[in-house]
Structure 1
Amino acid sequence: MSSRILGPLRAGVDGEPVDLGGGRARLVLAALLLDADRPVPVGRLVDVVWGDRPPASARAEVGVAVSGLRRGFRGAGRRPATRPSTPPP
């Protein structure tokens, strides 16, 4: 995995870009990258995304953002399956 946080946030797997989703997911990923190799409490991610005015659904929305990021990373670097074609008889 590669990531860039100076300038536009980007990430890739095996040279293929990862779809990072919207702004909320990007903020969550940036916070996770800044604390790489350390657990980041959900409360910290809520603070990063909403500051001192989080909605009641903030924890659930962080979960949705993380789920979307996981989906993006799982799908990155995979090539679509192709079927060999044979010429018509």
Structure 2
Amino acid sequence: MKITESLAQEINVRQACAALTVSSAGFYRWRSRQKSVPRENRRPAPPLALSKEEERTILVILHDERLVDMAPPEIYRKLLDEGIYL
């Protein structure tokens, strides 16, 4: 697209897109994305989402050597039997 943009400065955009077999709509879409500031989060996190610390704790438990070959429901039951409540 940068080549199309540099060629469009010499000739018009439509001719540059035709010469390089680039869709003019795609070129304009690319150019508008270059100018706009990207938004980080488009929607807020769900209210019941885990915090980053809770998520890390769960991942550490799921990657534990003795639990690595078990399904999450089995891990949950095993942890409850051991008295670990998350």
- TM-score > 0.5 by shorter chain: no
Provide TM-score, normalisation by structure 1: 0.32
**Structure richer in strand, relative to its length:** 1
Of structures 1 and 2, the larger Rg is shown by 2
Provide TM-score, normalisation by structure 2: 0.33
Taking CA–CA contacts closer than 8 Å with sequence separation of 6 or more, which of the two structures ends up with the larger relative contact order?
Answer: 1
